[in-house]
Structure 1
């Protein structure tokens, strides 16, 4: 299933790359709430009977859209469900490889190895989550893929760009949090999977290519990214470990994130840094209000 937000052209390219894959239903949730954008998706639906377009009444965010789409599909417990970012391209045998891995490891979440750029370097081949610091890392990042390692392996963090699983696993995890809107839904899911003993795996024999940042625009990361990433790291880490968000290491990591737009961005540095501040304040405010509400009840 695919969540679309003004990415219909990229969705068309993705669907082209999936033509050789055996897929019963491709559900596209349109969060654009735009007649012209919906019309483009409906044209794709007309050209392929396996495609089902589900228009949203409002932009519900990534996690809520995925949850709604999967429930709309009403899969059986053993069905394979694959969430795919629109700005990706799958190699022809990617899904087949993933399905083989899920047959071997049915109670797991599996991602292909994802590359980016002209050199085909690694964008995602696994990662880690440090709740104490509120830090997520892709490991290894921007390196040539290890062509000698083709066996699936376990990781601590599962990126939300292309995870696949049996529906029964999704039910055990209870889906994505639907209150984050965008960013860190995959971190939260990874933490819960690790706590539940559900394996997170990379199949390096399955490959996808990611057009990094394409669905967010070409002006670097957006102010919305900085706001929601700053806010949601606080919400997610607070849920996982209530004391971590007040630690010195967590505040230090927040300071590093505040400096990121000033160091990396070429446009709107100050406004993006301000978004980090606003997002952080919103996160701590929401934690405080939740705590007060719990205490009262």
Structure 2
């Protein structure tokens, strides 16, 4: 579960280990130490994801609450690297009973994150600024995953999906940013405690870009369940920064998310991720048929 070389690098005196189940991409291990402290070790899927995650903690410091980055290990020929993270108390938003008050706070959280802009003074190795050619970035991601989707999707449905993408792309408003965009801002990556929002997790996919892409997964998993949640979220967000017209972008990015998720499932192993693949295949059909 946790290689000895990583435990030795972080000098961890471990009493109990438990792998975190909801980490779709990287390996995350909860470590209970003999001194009663709890920390987390994250082993990102790739080197670029390791670099993004490491840089994000410094960028978000004093802007958004995150776990503390206690130490890093640069990796070797087998592992991309590892991050030692403090524990944030709380449970995921996905486990919390939904309420407009919490949705309002989530809006503030995401607004604060989107207010973080790229700095001219900092050279980053992992986090790219995609804002200047935002449409090109979205296209590159879509057509990269399309190569995988083509292998598992019926040909006529695949063609309709491509046409759907090109049609909706032309209707997008001007990009909003450049902002720090999480790219995986979903309920499972937001922690809540008895006081409200405790923090946000998982920065291996982050970019600087347009905010419009960043509402999709939260809407899919949480905000779409109740219009009161959606309204409260937007009100909270607007206390920090202006909110784009989500009606103009959500349909496009929900479709792109479902399509790209099919490609991701194929790329990472269809058998292992079959349920995720099947769920998103049905979503694509709903969009284009």
Fold equivalence (TM over 0.5): no
TM-score (norm 1): 0.29
